[in-house]
Amino acid sequence: MTETKPEPQEATRRGRPGYDQRGILEVAVEAFNEYGYDATSIGVLAERLGLSKSAIYHHVASKDELLRLALDEALDGLEGVLTEESAATGPAADRLAHVLRGAVRVLVERLPYVTLLLRVRGNTDVERAALARRRAFDRSVAALVENARDEGSVRADIDPGIVTRLLFGMINSIVEWYRPGGAESADQLASDVLAVALDGLRVQDAADRETLSAALRED
Amino acid sequence: MTETKPEPQEATRRGRPGYDQRGILEVAVEAFNEYGYDATSIGVLAERLGLSKSAIYHHVASKDELLRLALDEALDGLEGVLTEESAATGPAADRLAHVLRGAVRVLVERLPYVTLLLRVRGNTDVERAALARRRAFDRSVAALVENARDEGSVRADIDPGIVTRLLFGMINSIVEWYRPGGAESADQLASDVLAVALDGLRVQDAADRETLSAALRED
């Protein structure tokens, strides 16, 4: 009996004082998203973690470093998608599809980190550096849209910059309502986004196309 | 000469102390968006307006009432689209197109008001009432998506609730980057959104459809 019984003491120990940098980061990001970065002091974090401030400083140099680590987590994920084989070779339309799918996956898998990234307004050096990386990522996707348009596979009647903004408007809005463990898996959600973005909502038959073209021309 | 010359005194009078409720509201919404509603006191508003606090209270009962008036401006606009003739009669796909186009127009024409609405988190009765109206609006659009699907004009493979969220993710994100007087007019932007949402990005020909279908199946 004694051998198979779980050891509650060890479970407790694992759950609380045993934080490593990663564990501290997770709790910090949760707090930043809940109260805002400015309103979250190291003192508040210490309380949430059940640690002393100096125990936190053993793992990270400052609150600013926690923010940098958190934003890296989101940005490394997004930039990682761009360097994957399928994002770098083949027709631009395929590469674009791969990147959009990958962006949805990173968003879902790193939800609190991407949520934090999307709220950054550029108030500090760390925030400005993150915004610069995010803009570079957006530019890479805009370039893919442009390539796909030049290849003739993506419509040429909308500015690639606006297309990219609308696409990321759709993708980024997922942080507002998606909850992990819900009915929709990350893969399913990524497929939904790609289906709407690439194929559109309407059923593709000639009669219907006529109806909706008329609606598109509406005053 | 004296007759054609503009009268600087009157221009000044019109510009400053002559605020009516509408003028106060405009400045208040700008401040709410810039500093946040909680951080903006009537004192801050009085300073921005060059008015005394009591002059403001002559026009509105409280800061809360300013918020209510501002959120009404956004919500009345959106709800107004739903009651328009073209939103109420005809095939659901056409009605949906009309409502999406109308939502983009309201967003652009009432940009600061819709921006404020999208930031509301439900901290007060006024905010909760606004959120309830926004959810009711979203439900009406989701019902249109569902009707259009039942009519066979909108794809049946994505949940109408998710479709609606993705559509409004795309539309609402416009507040993040759109600036009035830019290269894109409200009508052009509405057409872009409808084109992406209904037709999708990809050029509709058989060979290309094959390529992108393969991309969509990508693991």
pLDDT at A207 over 70: no
Within a domain: residue A140? yes
Query: Among A9, A31, A60, which residue terminates a domain?
Result: A60
Is a pLDDT exceeding 90 seen at residue A7? Answer: no
Q: State which residues form the domain around B149.
A: 70-217
Say what the pLDDT of residue A219 is.
44
Can you tell me the mean pLDDT for B64-71? 97
User: Does A40 have pLDDT greater than 60?
Assistant: yes
Q: How confident is the model at residue B217 (pLDDT cuts 50, 70, 90)?
A: low
- Asked if A45 and A120 sit in the same domain, the reply is no
What is the DSSP secondary-structure string of B122-177?
S-SHHHHHHHHHHHHHHHHHHHHHHHHHHTTSB-SSS-HHHHHHHHHHHHHTHHHH
Whether B4 has a pLDDT exceeding 50, the answer reads: no
Query: Which pairs from B124-133 meet CB under 8 Å and 24+ separation?
Result: B124/B64, B124/B67, B126/B64, B126/B67, B126/B68, B126/B71, B127/B67, B127/B71, B129/B68, B130/B68, B130/B71, B130/B75, B133/B75, B133/B79
Q: Do A153 and B97 touch (CB under 8 A)?
A: no
Q: Give the pLDDT of residue A114.
A: 98
**Inside any domain, residue A53:** yes
Residue A182's pLDDT is 80
- The enclosing domain of A31 has a CATH number of 1.10.10.60
B40, part of any domain = yes
Evaluate whether residue A65 is within a structural domain.
no
Residues B31 and B122 in one domain: no
Domain boundary among B27, B60, B93: B60
Whether the CB-CB separation of A60 and A21 falls below 8 Å is answered with: yes
Residue B20 has pLDDT above 50, yes or no: yes
Q: Does B51 share its domain with B86?
A: no
pLDDT digits (tens, 9 = 90+) for A126-142: 999 999 999 999 999 99
State the average pLDDT for chain A. Answer: 87
Residues A38 and A97 in one domain: no
Q: How many domains does chain B have?
A: 2
For residue A183, the distance in angstroms to the closest alpha carbon of chain B comes to 11
pLDDT, greater one: A198 or B8:
A198
Q: Would you state the pLDDT for residue B14?
A: 42
End of a domain among A27, A60, A93? A60
Instruction: Please check the confidence at residue B7 and state whether its pLDDT lies above 60.
Output: no
Residue B134 has pLDDT above 60, yes or no: yes
pLDDT digits (tens, 9 = 90+) for B168-205: 999 999 999 998 888 888 999 999 999 999 989 888 65
Tell me: the pLDDT tens digits for A145-183?
A: 999 999 999 999 999 999 999 999 999 999 999 988 888
Q: Which amino acid is at B113?
A: Y
Asked whether residue A21 falls in the same domain as residue A84, the answer is: no
**Same domain? A77 vs A175:** yes
- B30 in a structural domain: yes
Residue A121 confidence (pLDDT): 86
For residues A115-139, one letter each, b for 16 or more C-beta atoms within 10 angstroms of the residue's C-beta and e for the rest, the string is: bbbbebeeeeebbebbeebbeebbe
Q: How confident is the model at residue A89 (pLDDT cuts 50, 70, 90)?
A: very high
Based on the fold, state whether residues B205 and B154 are members of the same structural domain.
yes
ipTM greater than 0.85, yes or no?
no
Residues of B in contact with A192 (CB under 8 A): 158-159, 162-163, 166
Query: Using the beta-carbon criterion (under 8 Å), do B203 and A172 form an inter-chain contact?
Result: no
On the question of pLDDT at B114 being above 90, the answer is yes
Mean pLDDT of A19-29: 95
Q: What is the pLDDT of residue A18?
A: 76
Q: Is residue A212 included in any domain, yes or no?
A: yes
Q: Which residue of B has its CA nearest to A194?
A: B216
**Is the pLDDT assigned to residue B110 strictly greater than 60?**
yes
Kindly state whether residues A21 and A126 are assigned to the same domain. no
Nearest CB to B194 within list A154, A203, A216:
A216
Say whether both A36 and A113 belong to one domain: no
Are A129 and A180 members of one domain?
Answer: yes
In this structure, the answer to whether residues B213 and B156 fall within a common structural domain is yes
> Does B63 score more than 70 pLDDT?
yes
| A175 and A146 fall within a common domain | yes
Asked whether the predicted pLDDT for residue B206 surpasses 60, the reply is: no
The answer to whether residues B104 and B171 touch, using CB atoms and an 8 Å cutoff, is yes
- Is the residue at B65 inside a domain? no
- Residue from B196, B209, B218 to probe the interface with A (highest A Cβ count within 10 Å): B196
* Contact across the interface for B191 and A163, Cβ inside 8 Å: no
d(CA B178, CA B204): 29
